[in-house]
């Protein structure tokens, strides 16, 4: 595109005025909107693993925290001074945070992740921060602040999160041209992996879902795009043979959605259920009743194949790094989180060291001021300057005992000491206090020198205090992919009306003959007398051509290697060919020709065998029409002497003479 044809937001007119161009405005505004949605609504930040609305909710809870529960409606209203998108979005986001049972301590009806029931209205439910949240997510001294959207308040740019919250909670968001889906992981395993990352050891982490279930993570791909996790419901047997029980759900499903998928599969004839009974309360319990006399366990593969008892989840780990979206693996996210935690702990230690240093400095200064009776030197001073000069003069011999320089602010602070404190000053207690400060300073300095070890102890402390009851819920296993056609219930009868050329399960019994029991996922292969071959899906009624030569169910896995023996005439008066072949791979509803394709060709002999061994005994007796100088009018043809070829091969020339008949013989 040339410079002249590029869209611009502003373009000059003939008289020199500048007017906006619609194309340029649309481009600029769309990019602004897309950037806003990505950065401010849909994708979490790397630093704390939170979206802006979640961060603002937690900040509001922290501001109002007094150890007691607050009405959610009150928290929502307080959050609105930071989040400009209305109370509905804040309330929904808060319920989602509360249901994760990690940062928010809930009270009241917060809904049910198992059944999908919604939470009560915000005015009826209450919340407060958990002790875990207060320990890992908040520190005013290490938080970077920014002005809120209206400039009236200060809000955190990111919470000082000392835990891989992003991987523990998981997150999902859809932006403009970008999506994010990070699956939740196990609390204890994340702590163990963080310790391994700090020690520069290898580790592996896999998703863990609050609904439990069984997960196959063979293709997880470390949470990057292109990976997937297959999750199954956990199904158990009961005392009654025709009843099975679902006790754990796949991720992102509820008992209601799972039951609906089972009923839909039953209506389509893929499975056969007599009754569904949902007894879910605190724990999942869905009873599936199959017809009496059947073994319910045999239907489990069909449940995995046709219902939401098995689903596939595709992760897409995307986070905001330096105001830009980046795709990172969960291992990279965890290492970055562990290093961020280590850095925050370092900041806290450095701040603590500075505070302890200030306390030691002033306590020592105060001790000198009182013990050396410097306060008496200011009794006769009449001006502030004289007071300051007297104190400086009295302190001068002892300045070398201090660890840093004394400032005018330090001296001014000494004048604020009350007489009552001076009169009750205990030199021994002061020395003990200073020794205690020195011990704390030494401990902090030791931790700063051994920062990795200190961070490891921090994570171990989190695990000890908050790890109880957070064991893995989702079982990890490897399971084979179930072919739907293999487990579909064969509850239909396939009929063939060869006179009119129809096949299907919807034909009436009197209209045709029964071929086999089938399911609606099965396929049928049909050979016509003209050499046309087609594979079609079983349906109520399908036309395949009048008087078909052969019709049967077709299994792509096993029947593609079946052997067919054919003798056909090429055209109306052409030569006779013999063909021994397999069907191989075929496309559904596409018509193939096993002859040369000449108009008027006709199949004169046809046989079908499941194995090559069965086909070896096939012999055909050829009888020719009498003709001048033709002596040998009949002879046997042994098919085993010919090579098995592909479906498209023309075959071997048998004779150029006309055939009267072909009889089936044997060796």
Q: pLDDT value at position 6? A: 44
**Structure tokens given for 536:** 């079609």
CB atoms within 10 A of CB 106: 21
What secondary structure letter does DSSP report for 457? H
Please list, in sequence order, all residues whose beta carbon lies within 8 angstroms of the beta carbon of residue 317, skipping any fewer than 6 positions away: 180, 181, 182, 223, 224, 327, 328, 329, 330, 333
Q: pLDDT value at position 14? A: 55
Reduced 3-state DSSP string for 291-335: CCCCCHHHHHHHHHHHCCCEEEECCECEEEECCEEEECCHHHHHH
Rounded distance between C-alpha atoms, residue 654 and residue 454, angstroms: 88
Q: pLDDT value at position 638? A: 93
Task: Kindly report the backbone phi and psi dihedral angles of residue 504, in degrees, each rounded to the nearest multiple of 5, phi listed first.
Answer: 160, 165
Rounded distance between C-alpha atoms, residue 349 and residue 338, angstroms: 17
Closest CA to 135 of 454, 465, 440, 455: 465
**Structure tokens given for 416:** 């604020």
Q: How far out from the chain centre does Cα 442 lie?
A: 46
Number of H helices, E strands in the chain: 17, 34
Q: pLDDT value at position 521? A: 82
Q: pLDDT value at position 268? A: 82
Rounded distance between C-alpha atoms, residue 42 and residue 31, angstroms: 15
Rounded distance between C-alpha atoms, residue 478 and residue 118, angstroms: 34
Q: How far is CA 615 from CA 159, 417, 594, in A?
A: 75, 111, 18
Beta partners for 664? 620
Rounded distance between C-alpha atoms, residue 110 and residue 107, angstroms: 8
User: Which residues of the chain have a pLDDT value below 70?
Assistant: 1-41, 175-177, 483-486, 666-667
pTM of the entire predicted model: 0.77
Rounded distance between C-alpha atoms, residue 107 and residue 130, angstroms: 12
Domains of the chain (ranges; CATH) run 43-161 (3.90.199.10), 229-313 (3.30.1360.40), 484-666 (no CATH)
Q: Catalytic amino acids?
A: 124
For 520-530, letters b (16+ CB in 10 Å) and e give bbbbbbbbbbb
Helix (H, G, I), strand (E, B) or coil at 48: coil
Q: pLDDT value at position 4? A: 43
**pLDDT single digits (tens) 493-530:** 889 998 888 999 888 777 778 888 888 888 999 999 99
């Amino acid at each position: 595109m040339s410079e002249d044809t590029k869209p611009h937001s502003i373009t000059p007119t003939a008289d020199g005025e500048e007017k906006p161009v619609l194309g340029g405005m649309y481009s600029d505004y769309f990019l602004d909107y897309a950037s806003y949605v990505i950065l401010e609504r849909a994708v979490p930040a790397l630093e704390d693993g939170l979206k802006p609305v979640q961060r603002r909710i937690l900040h509001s809870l922290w501001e109002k925290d007094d150890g007691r529960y607050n009405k959610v409606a009150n928290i929502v209203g307080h959050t609105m001074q930071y989040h400009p998108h209305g109370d509905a979005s804040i309330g929904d986001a808060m319920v989602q945070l509360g249901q994760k049972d990690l940062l928010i301590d809930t009270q009241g009806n917060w809904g049910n992740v198992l059944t999908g029931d919604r939470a009560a209205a915000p005015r009826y439910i209450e919340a407060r921060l958990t002790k875990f949240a207060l320990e890992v997510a908040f520190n005013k001294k290490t938080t970077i602040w920014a002005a809120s959207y209206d400039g009236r308040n200060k809000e955190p740019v990111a919470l000082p999160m000392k835990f891989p919250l992003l991987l523990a909670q998981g997150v999902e968001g859809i932006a403009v041209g970008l999506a994010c889906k990070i699956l939740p992981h196990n609390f204890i395993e994340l702590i163990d992996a963080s310790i391994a990352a700090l020690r520069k050891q290898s580790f592996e982490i896999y998703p863990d879902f609050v609904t439990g279930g069984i997960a196959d993570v063979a293709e997880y791909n470390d949470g990057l795009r292109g990976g997937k996790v297959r999750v199954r419901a956990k199904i158990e047997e009961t005392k009654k043979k025709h009843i099975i029980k679902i006790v754990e759900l796949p991720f992102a499903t509820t008992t209601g959605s799972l039951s609906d998928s089972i009923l839909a599969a039953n209506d389509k004839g893929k499975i056969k259920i007599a009754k569904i009974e949902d007894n879910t309360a605190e724990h999942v319990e869905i009873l599936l009743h199959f017809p009496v006399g059947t073994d319910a366990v045999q239907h489990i593969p069909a449940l995995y194949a046709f219902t939401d008892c098995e689903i596939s989840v595709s992760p897409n780990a995307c986070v905001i790094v330096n105001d830009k979206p980046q795709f990172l693996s969960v291992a990279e996210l965890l290492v970055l989180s562990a290093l961020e935690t280590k850095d925050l702990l370092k900041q806290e230690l450095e701040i603590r060291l500075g505070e302890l240093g200030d306390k030691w400095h002033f306590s020592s200064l105060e001790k000198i001021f009182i013990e050396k009776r410097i306060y008496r030197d200011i009794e006769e001073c009449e001006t502030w300057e004289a007071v300051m000069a007297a104190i400086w003069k009295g302190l001068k011999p002892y300045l070398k005992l201090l660890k840093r320089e004394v400032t005018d602010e330090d001296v001014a602070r000494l004048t604020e000491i009350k007489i009552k404190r001076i009169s009750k000053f205990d030199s021994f207690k002061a020395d003990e206090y200073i020794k205690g400060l020195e011990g704390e300073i030494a401990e902090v300095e030791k931790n700063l020198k051994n920062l990795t070890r200190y961070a490891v102890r921090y994570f171990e402390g989190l695990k000890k205090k908050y790890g109880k009851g957070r064991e893995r819920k989702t079982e990890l296993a490897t399971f084979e992919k179930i072919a739907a056609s293999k487990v579909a219930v064969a509850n239909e009868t396939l009929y063939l009306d060869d006179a009119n050329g129809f096949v299907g399960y919807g034909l009436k019994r009197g209209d045709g003959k029964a071929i086999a029991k089938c399911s609606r996922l099965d396929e049928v292969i049909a050979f016509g007398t003209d050499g046309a071959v087609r594979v079609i899906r079983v349906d109520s009624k399908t036309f395949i051509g009048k008087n078909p030569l052969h019709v049967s169910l077709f299994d792509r896995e096993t029947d593609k290697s079946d052997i067919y023996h054919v003798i056909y005439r090429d055209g109306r008066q052409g030569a006779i060919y013999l063909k021994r072949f397999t069907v191989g791979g075929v496309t559904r509803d596409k018509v193939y020709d096993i002859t040369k394709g000449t108009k008027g060709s006709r199949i004169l002999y046809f046989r079908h065998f499941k194995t090559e061994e069965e086909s070896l005994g096939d012999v055909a007796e050829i009888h020719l029409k009498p003709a001048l100088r033709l002596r040998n009018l009949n002879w046997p043809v042994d098919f085993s002497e010919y090579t098995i070829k592909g479906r498209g091969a023309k075959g071997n020339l048998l004779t150029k003479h006309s055939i009267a008949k072909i009889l089936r013989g044997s060796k």
